[in-house]
Chain A
Amino acid sequence: MEQMRKERIDRGLKVRTEGLYAISSYREILYLMGPRLLLIVGVIALPFIFELAPYWKRVINIMFVYALLALSFDFLANYVGLVCLGGAFLTGVGGYFSAIYNVYLGFPIYLAIPCATITGAAFCTLCLLPCLPLRGVYFAIVTLMYPLLFTRIIEALNILGGTNGITGLDGFPNQYVEHYIIILLVIGFLFAMRRFVNQDIGLVLRGVKDNDQSVRASGIDVTRMKVLAVFVASLIGCFGGAYMAHLYMWTGISLFALDFSIIPIASVVIGGGGTLIGAVIGSFILVPLSEVLRAFGTFRIVIYCIILTGFIVFKSEGLMIYMQRKYHQFERWVKV
């Protein structure tokens, strides 16, 4: 029997654009810039595309919040090797800090969000500090516990508004500010993170993931690197939380809800771990899906989990890596 084998070869265009040729013709420039421009322009145009559907315009905002969370999960899991099962912890902390600044201390909204982002990230990092010098599953365990714990504490002690939450946060002045703050920040964070992980420090972080002893042997403090990474990731997550609190003009324990933990994870797995952009695209797929399935209630979570497990088991590379391969290479069957 004749056996066939699939062969993958880089497209000529890709090979040409790797060198100086990249700027020698429009075709090559387009090949390089196309996907990036498509994403940026597409994302910026989204609010205009959905101009006639006000309900979906609100979904856009939430979608970008999830994109931020997915970005932070992807960064932590695939570049530092820390699996954060509690994205809800980040949003909750960010949201509550923003509410405290805005309602209790009377900060204006444009000051409350940045302050909440930074203090929230510092707070999250401090909370997670004990498990950072360790390897293994401890980080996952502790992040799993925190959202549940904070929900319990707020309910039990009846602090920070108790089960009713804190109301009366300032909203955004108009819809376009609402949209473009989050859209521009998602783009900003996305490209900033891509750059960040390609710097020397990103290399060190990947070293922490793959072989922490070698990082230590190079005279770099592993724990400090992890603290830095967790701080950056919580910065992203806390901004999402703070933004959401102002979007709804309300902060409550539902900011610690399970959705904020599981959807980002599912997005990353679907989009393709380690690509960063995949995380964003994954949430663009999952969040609208979740809105369509709103009638099913908690069954949505079951659906995500099944999709998630299916992707992990059968297509662990994710959509983004698959698409990148199709974009850069062609395939053909050859005889062995």
Chain B
Amino acid sequence: MQLIVYGIINSVTLSLISLGFTLVYSISRVPNFAHGALYILSGYLVWIFINKFAGFPYPFAIIAAIGLTAIVGALIYRLILIRIRGMEISEIIATYAMGLAILEGLRWGGLRGGTFTLPTFVAGSVDLFSVSVDYQRLIIVGVGIFTFIFLYVFTRYTKIGLALRGIAQDERAAMMLGINSDMTAIVSLAIGSALSGFAAVLLLPLGNIVVETGYNVLIFAIAVCVIGGLGSWGGTIVASFVIGFAQILTEAFISTHYQMVVALLAIIITLLVKPSGIFGKQKELEERV
């Protein structure tokens, strides 16, 4: 029972982490290697708001941090990526460099050691099917499911969401219908960054804010996206459940150290067997040489 409960929690965590990455990739085709950096940046911003500005209420700090992260994401696109759009090598290098700059800059700015923690939303824990689960994790699952539903509704019933999907499906046709491609890309990066910040705010209270988490988040997000099929939403959620349970099982039966190995093995197996991922059917011809 414990395995199932924690498996579900872990899976929702992973999908929260990777939603931002997959959103950006599916819409603007930019692999956002700065994803993990934005995650840590947002957590650190919340910490600053709470600890350096005394009396800043926690919910407000969270909203401000997520908003700032979204702005940073949008600025990365507006100032840098817009000039190198379509040059794949440059895109990868530029986003990777921005991510590294943010992460190592934070490390240099004093983000070291285990002193940076965020308070949980609600303290305490509850017994669920005779497994002790703290409220924070329950909130993660609840909010995570709510986020999936929200994104589903947002991309299908609002004008911006439909524009985003239009660009994702066929950029030229969408442009012909008057959708501004650069504007949607900026919006997608802003939303993607906000999602990664959102995930950070939810997940970081469970541990310390450390720079290494940024790299791990990036890697797990990429692993989930590759396995689910780059740019496929349903695939992302399914894949996060696959990896989430695989990780919990290895943790229970082998050792915690193998979490990363599981992710990499999953990527390699996916690439060998079905490179377009679980749900990436229409792209199968595109990916293979």
A-side residues, CB < 8 A to B, are 77-78, 81, 83, 85, 130-131, 133-138, 140-142, 144-146, 148-149, 152-153, 155-157, 212-213, 216, 222-223, 258, 262, 265-266, 269, 273, 296-299, 301-302, 304-306, 308-309, 312-313, 316
Question: Knowing A131-B271, A138-B226, A306-B101 touch, does A298 contact B108 (C-beta < 8 A)?
Answer: yes
Interface string of B105-116 (1 = CB under 8 A from A): 101100000000
B101 touches A302 (CB 8 A): yes
Contacts of A308 in B (CB 8 A): 93-94, 97
Decide: A302 near B104, CB < 8 A? Known: A85-B92, A130-B272, A141-B267: yes
* Least CB separation from A306: chain B residue: B101
**Once the chains bind, are A262 and B100 in contact (CB under 8 Å)?**
yes
CB distance from B116 to the nearest CB of A (A): 16
Q: Does B264 contact A (CB under 8 A)?
A: yes
With contacts A309-B80, A316-B84 taken as known, whether A134 is within 8 angstroms of B275 at the C-beta atoms is yes
Question: Considering the complex, which residues of chain B in the window 93-143 have a beta carbon less than 8 Å from any beta carbon of chain A?
Answer: 93-94, 96-98, 100-101, 104-105, 107-108
**Is A140 within 8 A of B92, CB to CB?**
yes
> When the two chains form the complex, which single residue of B108, B261, B272 contacts A302, counting CB atoms closer than 8 Å?
B108
Whether B97 and A305, one on each chain, are in contact in the complex, defined by CB atoms closer than 8 angstroms, is: yes
Q: Could you tell me the distance in whole angstroms from the C-beta of B27 to the nearest C-beta in chain A?
A: 15
Which residues of B line the A interface, CB within 8 A? 31, 33, 79-80, 83-84, 88-90, 92-94, 96-98, 100-101, 104-105, 107-108, 215, 218-219, 222-223, 226, 230, 255, 257-258, 260-261, 263-264, 267-268, 271-272, 275, 286-289
Contacting pair B257 A149 (CB below 8 A): no
Given the contacts A149-B260, A157-B257, A312-B93, A133 and B288 also touching, CB distance less than 8 Å: yes
Across chains A and B, the number of contacting residue pairs, with CB separation under 8 Å, is 137
Asked if B268 and A83 sit within 8 Å, CB to CB, the answer is: no
A residues in contact with B101, CB < 8 Å:
301-302, 305-306, 309
In the complex, what distance in Å separates the CA atom of A214 from the CA atom of B96?
A: 31
A280-B80 Cα distance, complex, nearest whole Å: 26
Contacts of B98 in A (CB 8 A): 305, 309
> How distant is the Cα of A72 from the Cα of B210 in the complex, in angstroms?
32
Report whether A156 and B255 are in contact in the complex, using a CB–CB cutoff of 8 Å. yes
Q: List 26 A-B residue pairs with CB atoms under 8 Å apart, sorted by A's residue number.
A: A83-B88, A83-B93, A85-B92, A130-B272, A133-B275, A133-B288, A135-B287, A137-B230, A140-B92, A142-B268, A142-B271, A144-B33, A144-B96, A145-B219, A145-B260, A153-B257, A153-B261, A156-B257, A213-B289, A299-B105, A302-B108, A305-B104, A306-B101, A308-B93, A309-B98, A316-B90
Q: Which residues in A have their C-beta under 8 angstroms from that of B104? A: 258, 298-299, 301-302, 305
Contact of A313 with B89 in the complex, beta carbons under 8 Å: no
B255-A137 in contact (CB<8A): no
Closest 4 CB pairs of A and B: A156-B257, A305-B101, A305-B97, A301-B104
| Interface SS of A by simple majority | helix
B79 contact set on A, CB distance < 8 A: 313
A152 in contact with B31 given A85-B96, A309-B98 (CB within 8 Å): no
Which of A83, A156, A265, A309 has the most C-beta atoms of chain B within 10 angstroms of its own C-beta? Answer: A309
CB distance B260 to A313 under 8 Å? no
A85, A266, A312: the one contacting B84 at CB < 8 Å is A312
Other-chain residue from A133, A140, A148, A149 in contact with B31 (beta carbon distance below 8 A):
A140
Q: Are A134 and B105 in contact (CB under 8 A)?
A: no
Contact call A149/B264, Cβ cutoff below 8 A: yes
Set of chain B residues within 8 Å of A145, measured between Cβ atoms: 219, 222-223, 260, 263-264, 267
Complex Cα spacing A269 to B288, Å: 28
User: How many Å lie between the Cα of A136 and that of B277 in the bound state?
Assistant: 14
A81 to B289 alpha-carbon distance, docked (Å): 13
Residues of B within 8 A of A296 (CB): 108
Q: Which residues from B are CB-within-8-Å of A83? A: 88-89, 92-93
Distance, CA A332 to CA B148, complexed state (A) = 60
A-chain residues with CB within 8 Å of residue B83 when the two chains form the complex: 313
Tell me the minimal C-beta distance from A227 to chain B in angstroms: 12
Contacts of A148 in B (CB 8 A): 215, 219, 260
Specify which chain A residues have a CB less than 8 angstroms from the CB of B263 in the assembled complex.
145
Question: Pick the contact of B289 from A85, A135, A141, A155 — CB < 8 Å?
Answer: A135
Contact yes or no, A312 B94, CB < 8 A: yes
Query: How far, in angstroms, from A213 to B108 measured CA to CA in the complex?
Result: 46
Q: Which residues of B contact A142 (CB under 8 A)?
A: 264, 267-268, 271
Closest CB in chain B relative to A263 CB, distance in Å: 11
What CA separation (Å) do A304 and B99 show in the bound complex? Answer: 12
